[in-house]
């Protein structure tokens, strides 16, 4: 139906006759001449319809916003003074000869360039219109390029794209399953996969050696800005590999992706143990763009006569951490109150602080509601955090988990609010995760999934599961977990031991994962892999704030059964 996309028209086509199809972006009546800005997914071009071409003129005259037209005309240079150098098509216009109305449109719920005025709900309800906006088109186009580049890279590295079932048995990744009732087996259910984890491991047992898939995964979790219950993973697995192989291949993939799509050269990916990440940043996905660190002050706080601090400082599961913010003494009382509220979300009962106005003046130079309780250690404390005039020091004192979450989140918030970023992109690998985490009742659950290999023998694991480390690794970028994976258990005894520690009895293990336990007996090679969250990756690369901006359609409301 057409010869060109609107966005492709430019001065190289002057005097040529072209046909485009698209939507009326804007229609202007200029004293008998009608100007139509026509839009398609590639851009916008200006068409001029004059009354000499009577039929074309009549059709242009009845066209309204978002009508679908097919126009044929001759490309010509725009008259001097009417060019628009900001538009790729801004040097030319097309003198229309034929205008055909392919479809009409009722008045749209919002003008594309006035989308900001309507709420996101209206945009999502009329998503097909929202998706006509150049901004949305660009994001989805970039997403397509990202998938394409990833596929090309992995194919080049000898990975095979293999699909795995969607109607399946539960594949645990720590969330609830979506269940699909079976019509033919009344009372029975399928589960949608939380990831293709088990299948990719079976493919390794089969000998496929290198597998990938851009796979839909389903986890019944609450919505968050960077999470959707239905999402897409770049799922990868390889045989006869160790941690460094998978990390090397995937790091090179992300590096190449950034080069090709964004023309960005990512810096080095440092490796940091999970423990160090928690100690220094209170997070297993530290945002290394922010030059703030948590400092342990347990030993000092054990010496103060202030229960709120000395209690957690002496408790086994407690932590007192300080966060020094250079220049933070200028924060107002109101701002500090806001931050106190903020850490409350993470369970912190308060937020203590010391403002360092003038260190040389000793206690006089400090301003703080708590310093009177710690006069005996305050100098040492200030030395420890390297306090200088103008700084503020925040404190978290509670169970270590709460301090890490609260002060870790505060660090990220301060980084954003005070614009402390030192670089645009800060990637890293987090390694040496604990195998398990314990809930408040001491029940263990896998930190990743139960197929992750520990870095010790089954006997050692059994003897002290709580301190065992795993062979897992996460790739983190700007405080977001881009992907995570591990070397897997390929030995049946080890797999049974892990199930046992997790309290999964033999019968349950057989019923749920019998096929994996069986497969491990038939020559399973050492193997490992990783999965990236594609939605999050795209979100970071295009600078979007929510995943909804980088997926075409959101999940609709569920229907009653
Ligand atoms: N299956 C894991 C996940 O979905 C990734 C992996 O271990 O490869 O998070």
Q: Is residue 505 part of a domain?
A: no
Of 77, 103, 129, the position where a domain reaches its end is 103
Q: Is residue 52 part of a domain?
A: yes
**How many angstroms is it from 531 CA to the middle of ligand 1?**
5
Which atom of ligand 1 is nearest to 194's Cα?
4
Name the pairing type of β-strands 17-30 and 68-77: antiparallel
Substitution site in 198, 202, 203, 235 for ligand 1 pocket (most atoms within 8 Å of beta carbon): 235
Of 103, 134, 169, the position where a domain reaches its end is 103
Give the pLDDT of residue 320: 97
Q: What are phi and psi of 118, to 5 degrees?
A: -95, 155
Split at pLDDT 50, 70, 90, the class of 105 is very high
On the question of pLDDT at 227 being above 90, the answer is no
Give the pLDDT of residue 558: 79
Q: Is residue 434 part of a domain?
A: no
| pTM, 2 dp | 0.92
Q: Is residue 255 part of a domain?
A: no
Of 51, 77, 103, the position where a domain reaches its end is 103
Q: Is residue 355 part of a domain?
A: yes
Mean pLDDT throughout 503-508? 90
Number of Cβ within a 10 Å radius of residue 181: 11
Q: Please, which residues bridge with residue 322 across strands?
A: 295, 395
Question: Which residues does ligand 1 sit against, CB inside 6 Å?
Answer: 173, 195, 197, 449, 484-486, 529-531
Total domains in the chain come to 2
Triad 305, 309, 313: Cα angle to 5°? 105
Q: Is residue 454 part of a domain?
A: no
User: Which CATH number covers residue 45?
Assistant: 2.40.50.140
Q: Would you call 260 exposed, middle or buried from its count of C-beta atoms within 10 A (0-12, 13-18, 19+)?
A: middle
Give the pLDDT of residue 225: 65
Q: Is residue 391 part of a domain?
A: yes
**How many angstroms is it from 359 CA to the middle of ligand 1?**
50
Which atom of ligand 1 is nearest to 196's Cα?
1
Give the pLDDT of residue 405: 97
Substitution site in 484, 516, 527, 533 for ligand 1 pocket (most atoms within 8 Å of beta carbon): 484
**How many angstroms is it from 197 CA to the middle of ligand 1?**
6
Specify the residue for token string 């010869």. 3
- Cα 318 to Cα 170: distance, rounded to the nearest angstrom: 36
Q: Is residue 296 part of a domain?
A: yes
Q: Render pLDDT for 191-201 as a digit per residue (tens, 0 to 9).
A: 999 999 999 99
Give the pLDDT of residue 434: 97
On the question of pLDDT at 224 being above 80, the answer is no
Residue 254 in tokens:
């992300």
User: Which CATH number covers residue 403?
Assistant: 3.30.1360.30
Range of the domain at 99: 6-103
Specify the residue for token string 């940091």. 272
Residue 559 in tokens:
């229907």
pLDDT > 70: what percent of the chain?
99
On the question of pLDDT at 186 being above 80, the answer is yes
Mean pLDDT throughout 355-366? 94
């Amino acid at each position: 139906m057409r010869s060109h996309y609107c966005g492709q028209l430019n001065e190289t086509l002057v005097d040529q006759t072209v046909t485009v199809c698209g939507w009326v972006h804007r229609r202007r009546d200029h004293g008998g001449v009608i100007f139509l800005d026509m839009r398609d997914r590639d851009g916008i071009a200006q068409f001029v319809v004059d009354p000499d071409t009577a039929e074309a003129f009549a059709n242009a005259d009845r066209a309204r916003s978002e009508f679908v037209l097919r126009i044929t005309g001759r490309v010509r240079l725009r008259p001097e003074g009417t060019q628009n150098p900001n538009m790729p098509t801004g040097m030319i216009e097309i003198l229309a000869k034929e205008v055909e109305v392919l479809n009409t449109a009722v008045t749209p719920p919002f003008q594309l360039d006035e989308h900001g005025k309507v709420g996101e709900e209206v945009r999502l309800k009329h998503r097909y219109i929202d998706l006509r906006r150049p901004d949305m088109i660009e994001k989805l186009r970039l997403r397509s390029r990202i998938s394409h580049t990833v596929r090309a890279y992995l194919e080049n590295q000898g990975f095979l794209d293999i699909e795995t079932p969607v109607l399946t048995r539960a594949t645990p990744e720590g969330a609830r399953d979506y269940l699909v009732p079976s019509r033919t087996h009344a009372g029975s259910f399928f589960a949608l996969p939380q990831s293709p984890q088990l299948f990719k491991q079976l493919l390794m047992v089969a000998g496929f050696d290198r597998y990938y898939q851009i796979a839909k995964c389903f986890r019944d979790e609450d919505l968050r800005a960077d999470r959707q219950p239905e999402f897409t993973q770049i799922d990868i697995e390889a045989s006869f590999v160790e941690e460094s192989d998978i990390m090397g291949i995937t790091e090179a993939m992300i590096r190449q992706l950034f080069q090709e799509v964004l023309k960005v050269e990512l810096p080095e990916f440092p490796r940091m143990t999970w423990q160090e990440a928690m100690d220094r940043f209170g997070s297993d996905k530290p945002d290394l763009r922010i030059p703030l660190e948590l400092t342990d002050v347990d030993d000092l706080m054990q010496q103060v006569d202030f229960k709120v601090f000395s209690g957690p400082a002496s408790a086994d599961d407690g932590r007192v951490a300080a966060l020094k913010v250079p220049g933070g003494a200028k924060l107002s009382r109101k701002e500090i109150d806001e931050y106190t509220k903020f850490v409350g979300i993470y369970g912190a009962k308060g937020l203590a602080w010391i403002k360092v106005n003038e260190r040389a003046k000793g206690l006089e130079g400090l301003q703080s509601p708590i310093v009177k309780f710690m006069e005996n250690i305050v100098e040492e404390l200030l030395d420890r955090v390297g306090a200088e005039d103008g700084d503020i020091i925040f404190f978290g004192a509670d169970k270590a988990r709460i301090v890490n979450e609260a002060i870790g989140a505060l660090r990220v918030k301060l980084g954003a609010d005070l614009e402390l970023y030192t670089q645009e992109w800060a990637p890293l690998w987090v390694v040496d995760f604990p195998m398990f985490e314990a809930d408040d009742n001491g029940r263990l659950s896998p930190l990743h999934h139960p197929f992750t290999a520990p870095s010790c023998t089954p006997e050692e694991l059994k003897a002290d599961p709580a301190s065992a480390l795993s062979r897992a690794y996460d790739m983190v970028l700007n405080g977001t977990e881009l992907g995570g994976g591990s070397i897997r258990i390929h030995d049946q005894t080890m797999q049974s031991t892990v199930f046992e520690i997790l309290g999964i009895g033999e019968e349950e293990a057989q019923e749920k994962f019998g096929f994996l336990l069986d497969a491990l007996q038939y020559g399973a090679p050492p193997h490992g892999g990783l999965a990236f969250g594609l939605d999050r990756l795209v979100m970071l690369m295009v600078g979007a704030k929510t995943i909804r901006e980088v997926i075409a359609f959101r999940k609709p409301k569920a229907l009653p059964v």
